[in-house]
């Protein structure tokens, strides 16, 4: 007996098509999950490289400061600054360097401001879209105190360490940046004069 041509799908055909649809949906879901993980790893790598660049930039500036001389350091909750004399092309020149937070369009940026011999400050954004930026200073404010972390630093001498903590705008924590003012200058002094560290 012959089947009529317009009778529709058999159960076997329907089951086969559902099985193929299930296999295709599993493959598509797997590739979407893989794409999401690659996207997240790319964003994490971008955050890590941005933070490494900021850390390098700040270390080049802060750790090359000469802790001796007439330089003045002042640290606050939203900025720190360093003012003093520097040798530029063989002549003494006054410099002013500060790292501070700047509010722009509802977001907080970490900025570096530099000026030489009273000229206008040149601003450079180190990191953008941050929140909860904190500056902390480690050392002794008074001679009888123990070394500890402080939210402000009265100066004029710099602290032993400076720590910058922040969160990204998406809520992810930034690893803290810890800087030692004058580290490179101290190392130059050690290597050029004595095997003993400076006091």
Contact 167, 131 (CB under 8 A): yes
What string of pLDDT tens digits covers the 199 residues of the chain? 566 666 677 888 888 999 999 999 888 888 888 888 888 777 767 767 778 888 888 888 888 776 666 778 889 888 888 887 766 666 667 788 888 888 877 778 888 888 877 777 778 888 888 888 889 999 888 878 888 899 999 878 888 899 989 888 777 788 888 998 878 766 666 665 556 655 5
Does residue 187 form part of some domain? Answer: yes
Token pair, residue 171, equals: 């809520």
Structural domain count, the chain: 1
Does residue 8 form part of some domain? Answer: no
Does residue 66 form part of some domain? Answer: yes
Token pair, residue 114, equals: 């530099």
Does this model's pTM top 0.85? My answer is no
| pLDDT computed for residue 103 by the predictor | 84
Does residue 152 form part of some domain? Answer: yes
CB atoms within 10 A of CB 60: 10
Rounded distance between C-alpha atoms, residue 123 and residue 64, angstroms: 19
For residue 26, cis peptide bond before it (omega within 30 degrees of 0): no
Does residue 97 form part of some domain? Answer: yes
Contact 129, 156 (CB under 8 A): no
Does residue 40 form part of some domain? Answer: no
- Indicate the pairing of strand 148-150 with strand 161-168: unpaired
Does residue 5 form part of some domain? Answer: no
Rounded distance between C-alpha atoms, residue 37 and residue 45, angstroms: 12
- Report the largest interatomic distance among the alpha carbons of the chain, rounded to a whole angstrom: 110
Does residue 32 form part of some domain? Answer: no
| pLDDT computed for residue 69 by the predictor | 65
Radius of gyration of the chain (CA): 29
> Which range of residues forms the domain containing residue 132?
52-193
């Amino acid at each position: 007996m012959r089947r009529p041509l317009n009778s529709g799908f058999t159960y076997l055909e329907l089951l086969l098509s559902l099985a193929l649809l299930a296999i295709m949906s599993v493959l598509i879901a797997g590739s979407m999950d893989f794409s999401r993980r690659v996207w997240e790893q790319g964003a994490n790598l971008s955050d890590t490289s941005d933070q490494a660049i900021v850390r390098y930039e700040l270390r080049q500036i802060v750790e090359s400061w000469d802790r001796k001389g007439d330089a003045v350091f002042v640290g606050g909750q939203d900025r720190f600054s360093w003012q003093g004399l520097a040798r530029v092309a063989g002549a003494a020149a006054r410099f002013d360097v500060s790292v501070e937070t700047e509010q722009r369009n509802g977001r907080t940026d970490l900025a570096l401001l530099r000026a030489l011999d009273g000229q206008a400050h040149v601003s450079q954004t180190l990191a953008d879209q941050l929140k909860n930026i904190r500056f902390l200073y480690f050392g002794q404010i008074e001679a009888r105190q123990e070394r500890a972390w402080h939210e402000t630093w009265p100066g004029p001498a710099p602290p032993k360490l400076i720590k910058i903590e922040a969160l990204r705008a998406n809520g992810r924590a930034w690893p803290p940046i810890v800087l030692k003012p004058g580290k490179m200058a101290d190392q130059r002094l050690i290597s050029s004069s004595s095997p003993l560290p400076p006091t």
